[in-house]
């Protein structure tokens, strides 16, 4: 037994170094993937960057048949859908955060609601899109007829509606955690001065968690910007933007993600494909930056 143990201890030292190196290699793979992604996107965007220059970003016409490319309609489409979705969802995210963070943090009802929120995030986006196409679109169509707008049904407004539901969990779950973190002494001090529940929420909890909640909004925004499938199914896939306000909001359009999804496999010449990839590059950079800022705010908030 003694000799066996002595021999074993020496062979094990060899595996030690192999294992430690393996850990390092695996972690490096992550860095390689990210760098590789960036390089691939930049490299493959080069043809359109060279051919179209920076004016591409505010070019208003997207006509692949005539080899004219302008990203402006998609930038508008993305911004409109994402920000409209944010505006619609924020009241709900905040409400849930306050309810589950402050009013009702424990108990079966609270768990039920929390699970429901996680379920919203778990449902695949394709299912949101499918349901939206067959149920939401006819509803919106009759709504549009009532308010005297061209009854497309599909369009930017419909996409924003579905998107707003999908992004609620991102701000909400973060908000719940943050509001629960507000130190009791702070709240008790306000109560001791005779503040009502509403006043404590408004003047103690909200200011305390403000930056963290903002980070939650950023995370929701990042999610909205990158969402592809539900939007592709509901937005109408038109690469021109409406000229009047009504047409803009209620008419069809395209986002950066949806135009890539629709036209990538049809892009037959290099500049066409490259223009689409350039959109992907913009999408990549913007979502990454927003997510990193959001995460940085969160780490700073939680370390305090």
Partner 1 sequence: MEHTVVSSSKFNAWFGDNHVVKDVSIGIEKNQVIAVMGPSGCGKTTFLRCINRMHELIPGATTKGSMKLYDDDVYTMNPIWVRYKIGMVFQRPNPFPNLSIYDNVVAGYKLNGLKMPKAEMDQIVEKSLTSAALWNEVKDSLHKKGTFLSGGQQQRLCIARAIAMQPEVILFDEPTSALDPISTSSVEQLFHELKENYTLIIVTHNMQQAARVSDKTAFFYLGELVEFDDTKQMFTAPSDVRTQNYITGRFS
Partner 2 sequence: MEARLKVRNTKSILFKCLIVFLSFLITVPLIVILLYIIKQGVLQVNWHFLTHVPAPVGETGGGIANALVGSFIMVMLSAVIAIPIGMLSGIYLSENPHTKLSYYAGLCVDILQGVPSIVVGIVVYFWIVKPLGTFSALSGSVALSIMMLPIVIRSTEQTLRLLPPSLKEAALSLGVPYYRVILKVIVPCGFAGILSGIMLSIARIVGETAPLLFTAFGNPYLSASITKPMESLPHLIFTYATSPYDEWHNLAWGASFILLMFVLILNIVTKLITRKWNIQL
Residues 171-230 that bind partner 2 (CB under 8 A): 196-199, 201, 222, 225-229
Taking the complex as a whole, how short is the minimal distance between the CB of residue 146 and partner 2, in angstroms? 21
Nearer to partner 2 among residue 72 and residue 264 (C-beta): 264
Q: Which residues pair with 68 in a beta bridge?
A: 63
Residue 112 CA to residue 101 CA, distance in Å, equals 14
By a kind-dependent CB cut-off of 5 to 8 A, residue 85 interacts, out of partner 1, partner 2, none, with: none
1 binds partner 2 (CB under 8 A): no
168 binds partner 2 (CB under 8 A): yes
Q: Give the DSSP letter string of 112-136.
A: HHHHHHHHHHHS-HHHHHHHIIIII
Residue 134 CA to residue 297 CA, distance in Å, equals 40
Which parts of 6-25 interact with partner 1 (CB under 8 A)? 6, 8-10, 12-13
Q: Which stretch binds partner 2 (CB under 8 A): 95-103, 151-159, 182-190, 244-252?
A: 95-103
Q: Which stretch binds partner 2 (CB under 8 A): 21-29, 55-63, 142-150, 245-253?
A: 21-29
For 152, the 3-state DSSP assignment is coil
Taking the complex as a whole, how short is the minimal distance between the CB of residue 40 and partner 2, in angstroms? 5
Nearer to partner 2 among residue 246 and residue 295 (C-beta): 295
Q: Which of 79, 241, 215, 94 shows the shortest CA–CA distance to 160?
A: 79
Q: Give the DSSP letter string of 160-228.
A: HHHHHHHHHHHHHHHHHHHHHTS-HHHHHHHHHTT--HHHHIIIIIHHHHHHHHHHHHHHHHHHHHH--
Which residues are CB-neighbours of 106 under 8 A, at least 6 positions away?
none
For 59, the 3-state DSSP assignment is coil
Which parts of 49-88 interact with partner 2 (CB under 8 A)? none
Q: Which of 61, 87, 95, 145 binds partner 2 (CB under 8 A)?
A: 95
Q: Which of 3, 5, 185, 198 binds partner 1 (CB under 8 A)?
A: 5
Q: Which of 85, 182, 261, 297 binds partner 2 (CB under 8 A)?
A: 261
Where do contacts with partner 1 occur on this chain (CB under 8 A)? 1, 4-6, 8-10, 12-13
């Amino acid at each position: 037994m003694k000799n066996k143990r002595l021999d074993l201890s020496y062979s094990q030292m060899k595996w030690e170094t192999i294992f430690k190196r393996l850990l390092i290699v695996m972690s490096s793979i992550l860095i390689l993937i990210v760098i590789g992604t960036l390089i691939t996107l930049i490299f493959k965007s080069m043809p359109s960057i060279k051919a179209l220059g920076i004016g591409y970003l505010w070019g208003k016409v997207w006509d692949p048949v005539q080899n004219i490319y302008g990203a402006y309609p998609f930038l508008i489409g993305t911004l409109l859908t994402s920000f409209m979705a944010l505006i619609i969802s924020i009241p709900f995210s905040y409400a849930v955060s306050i309810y589950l963070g402050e009013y009702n943090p424990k108990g079966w009802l609270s768990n039920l609601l929390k699970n429901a929120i996680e379920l919203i995030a778990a449902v695949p986006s394709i299912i949101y899109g499918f349901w939206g196409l067959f149920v939401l679109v006819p509803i919106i169509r009759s709504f549009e007829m009532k308010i005297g707008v061209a009854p497309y049904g599909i369009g930017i407004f419909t996409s924003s509606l579905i998107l707003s539901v999908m992004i609620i969990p991102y701000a909400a779950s973060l908000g719940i955690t943050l509001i629960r973190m507000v130190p009791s002494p702070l709240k008790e001090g306000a109560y001791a001065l005779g503040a009502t529940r509403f006043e404590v929420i408004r003047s103690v909890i909200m200011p305390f968690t403000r930056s963290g909640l903002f980070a939650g909004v950023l995370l929701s925004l990042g999610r909205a910007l990158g969402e592809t499938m539900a939007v592709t199914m509901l937005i109408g896939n038109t690469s021109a933007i409406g000229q009047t306000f009504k047409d803009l909001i209620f008419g069809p359009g395209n986002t950066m993600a949806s135009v890539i999804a629709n036209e990538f496999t049809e892009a037959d010449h290099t500049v066409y494909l490259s223009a689409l990839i350039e959109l992907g590059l913009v999408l990549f950079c913007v979502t990454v930056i927003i997510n990193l800022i959001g995460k940085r705010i969160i780490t700073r908030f939680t370390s305090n």
